[in-house]
Structure 1
Amino acid sequence: MDVTELSERIRANDPAMGLRAVGALHRLAEQVEALSVAQAREQGWTWEQIGDALGMSRQSVHAKYGK
């Protein structure tokens, strides 16, 4: 689903379409977050720095991505 299709679904009066768009946005956000965390770690960022940037605790970020 591309950005144009997402925008159309969000503006539609059909809740099912809007909810599917929300799901797609959540999946995209998770992918971007995971890639960004991996890049930050490769560049030497600490879990605390990453957590601060995401508005999370370092423990939460480490639990989610530290494996």
Structure 2
Amino acid sequence: MIDPDAFQPSDDPAETLATVVALRRLADRLERQAVAAALGKGWSWARIAQALGVTKQAAHKRLSDLVTGNER
């Protein structure tokens, strides 16, 4: 597991903002992979949502394309 407290912002705002963008993209990719794996193991949207700390509706709205095969 990565320790988020180990990251220190750069003195250069552009570098720090680029890091934020890269981390968001990584987090999105990891989330989609984990949700796809959970769905493949038969997890319900309610269980996935609980694990993500969001409502079932929010999880389904954001990630339901994984079920339909229209991955981004």
User: 2:40 maps to what in 1?
Assistant: 42
What TM-score does the superposition give when structure 2 sets the normalisation length? 0.76
CA distance in 1, matches of 2:47, 2:9: 36
Q: Which structure 1 residue ranges, 4+ long, deviate > 3 Å from structure 2?
A: none
Question: Which of 52, 55, 60 is the matching residue for 2:53?
Answer: 55
SS of residue paired to 2:43: coil
Instruction: Answer 1 or 2: which has greater helix percent.
Output: 1
CA deviation profile, 1:22-59 (whole Å, cap 9, x unmatched): 00000000000000000000000000000000000011
Matches within 5 A, 1:1-67: 10-67=8-65
The amino acid of 1:34's aligned partner reads R
Higher relative contact order (CA 8 A, sep 6+): 2
Unaligned 5+ residue runs, structure 2? Answer: 1-6, 66-72
CA distance in 2, matches of 1:24, 1:50: 24
CA distance in 1, matches of 2:62, 2:9: 33
Unaligned 5+ residue runs, structure 1? Answer: 1-6
What TM-score does the superposition give when structure 1 sets the normalisation length? 0.82
